[in-house]
Amino acid sequence: MSDDDKERGGAPDPLAPLADLARAWADAGPQHPGGPGAWAELDAGLTRQVRRRRAQWALAGALGLVLVAAAGRGVWLRHQRLTYAIEGADARTDGYIPRVVEPLARVRFSDGSEVGLEHGSRAWVVATGADGAQLRLEDGRAHFAVVHRPHAHWTVEAGPFVVSVTGTKFDVEWSGTNDRLRVHLRSGVVTVGGPQTRGGVTLLPGQVLEARPDEGILRVEPAPADPPAPPLRGAPLEKASPTAAPSATSPSAAAPPLTSPPPAVPGPAGEPAPPPPPAADPRLLHAAPVRPRALALAGAPVAAGFGSDWRAEIARGEFEPILHEAAARGTESCLRSLPSDRLAVLGDAARYGGQTDLARRVLQAQRARFPGSSAAAEATFLLGRLAEDAHEPGSVALPWYERYLKEAPTGVYAAEALGRQMLILGGRANDQRAREIARKYLEGYPRGAYVAQAREILEGAP
């Protein structure tokens, strides 16, 4: 029985004669019909096939090269760090803009984004990356036009707040003196993170966020009729109304600047005056805060354990977390409630972190709350150093040093205070008092750090 028969369960194939006939017909045909001509044709076909395959490989290779080149260019562009140029302000090489003297300074980035800094602002282009930049507005008002790109990520730090941006136009105003933030979103979306924002507040176009972390106030409301932002290159902003009174380069009229006057400068003879309390902003005082819990926290004394790990943090050089923690808790609360040692650490963190105004307030709180203590005396000396570091006139620092020498004549900073006094006065020609201090310094500290300067003052005397 054949396989065919098995497939049919043993029955013979009734169609087998037809299949046999077909096979016979096929076998009867010419078995080699082509001959040499057929081989030549096949050979030509094989040659064409090889050529075609080579051409296909070449085409695929060229296409691959083009794709690789395009991808490489994309990757290169993707990882190319943004560059920027600052116009209208003297900037340090590290991107710090100490103070804008011109009506408007511009920071132009290579991706087309642009930042306008108004007169008096202080800002810092902290870092740039392939996807954006990190900026810090230390004081004043800035207008941003960030070009929207895939993966774009820009951050603008203003005090304890961080505005996260992907591509948009907005204005940021920050008063480092009063810890007040104002963000006006003109288009796009931004997220503002910081104290009381609980992970971030997202703003929509036409909204304004105003925050006073010290007072626990955080508010989002429709934008008032702000003047148009200055025309920036990043993208066309709203057309400036011809009737708008204030120009783009002048301070806002509709939204008064939040920056309050600088703290009073102590006179040479009197007790240094503490900075005036923050000016009340009626818009904020009458506004209902969006974070009732934040208001409840504001002004409340800090917990006993709050800041207990600050000393270890500052020993590790981590002062930013301390500042953020204090800002989040409310600076005023900290100033009112923190014990002396933690207040001293907060003051150090503020000084190391470049927050001069906060440092000054902490030191003054230390003096006011713990008078007669060694910490209060040290705060007196440090207030003098702060004034010098801020390049304020010598008449500002001098009274602090005098006061410190009265409060702690044998304190740890006594030699330093005397030396600083001598140097400030030594700059004044033929100053009798400078010579007296120089003699006193050489008698008291013959191996001190300022011996050379003391001798120079005495030898130069008539």
Partner 1 sequence: MAVIPRLILVGKSFRGDEGDDVALAEALIRRDPQATFVAWTRLHGLAVGTLRRLAGPGNDIDDLAQEVFLRFFRYVHKLRDPKALRSFLIGICLRVVRGEMRQRWLRRFLRLTDGGDAPEPAVPARDGDGASDAREIVRRYYAILDRLSNEDRSLYVARHVERLPLTEVATLHGLSDSTARRHLLRIARRVAAMVEADPALSAYLAEEEQARRGKQTP
Residues that bind partner 1 (CB under 8 A): 3-4, 7-8, 13-19, 21-27, 29-34, 38-39, 41-42, 45-46, 49
Cα–Cα distances (Å) from 306 to 314, 317, 359, 378, in that order, read 15, 19, 19, 23
- If the CB atoms of residues 1 and 269 are measured against partner 1, the closer one turns out to be 1
- If the CB atoms of residues 39 and 57 are measured against partner 1, the closer one turns out to be 39
Q: How far is the CB of 36 from partner 1 (least distance, A)?
A: 11
- If the CB atoms of residues 41 and 271 are measured against partner 1, the closer one turns out to be 41
Rg (CA), the chain: 38
Q: How far is the CB of 61 from partner 1 (least distance, A)?
A: 20
- If the CB atoms of residues 48 and 92 are measured against partner 1, the closer one turns out to be 48
Cα–Cα distances (Å) from 435 to 216, 394, 442, 457, in that order, read 52, 17, 11, 6
Alpha-carbon span 117 to 101, nearest angstrom: 10
Q: Which residues pair with 12 in a beta bridge?
A: none
Amino acid at 95: G
Alpha-carbon span 383 to 397, nearest angstrom: 7
Q: How far is the CB of 32 from partner 1 (least distance, A)?
A: 6
Alpha-carbon span 69 to 244, nearest angstrom: 51
Triad 283, 190, 163: Cα angle to 5° = 75
Q: How far is the CB of 47 from partner 1 (least distance, A)?
A: 11
- If the CB atoms of residues 33 and 261 are measured against partner 1, the closer one turns out to be 33
Task: Judge whether 335 and 343 are in contact, CB under 8 Å.
Answer: yes
Give the contacts of 310 (CB within 8 A, at least 6 positions apart): 322, 325, 342, 345, 346, 349
Q: How far is the CB of 45 from partner 1 (least distance, A)?
A: 5
- Residue 266: half-sphere exposure toward Cβ, Cα within 13 Å: 23
Largest CA distance in the chain: 142
Q: How far is the CB of 154 from partner 1 (least distance, A)?
A: 56
- If the CB atoms of residues 6 and 406 are measured against partner 1, the closer one turns out to be 6
SS3 156: strand
Alpha-carbon span 288 to 306, nearest angstrom: 28
φ and ψ of 324, to 5 deg: -65, -40
- If the CB atoms of residues 26 and 225 are measured against partner 1, the closer one turns out to be 26
Q: How far is the CB of 43 from partner 1 (least distance, A)?
A: 8
- If the CB atoms of residues 17 and 270 are measured against partner 1, the closer one turns out to be 17
- If the CB atoms of residues 36 and 462 are measured against partner 1, the closer one turns out to be 36
Task: Read off the tokens for 295.
Answer: 């208001």
Q: How far is the CB of 26 from partner 1 (least distance, A)?
A: 4
Q: How far is the CB of 58 from partner 1 (least distance, A)?
A: 18
- If the CB atoms of residues 2 and 83 are measured against partner 1, the closer one turns out to be 2
Q: Which residues pair with 141 in a beta bridge?
A: 173
Please name which of 200, 198, 199 lies closest in space to residue 190, comparing C-alpha atoms.
200
Q: How far is the CB of 51 from partner 1 (least distance, A)?
A: 13
User: H helices then E strands: how many in the chain?
Assistant: 15, 14
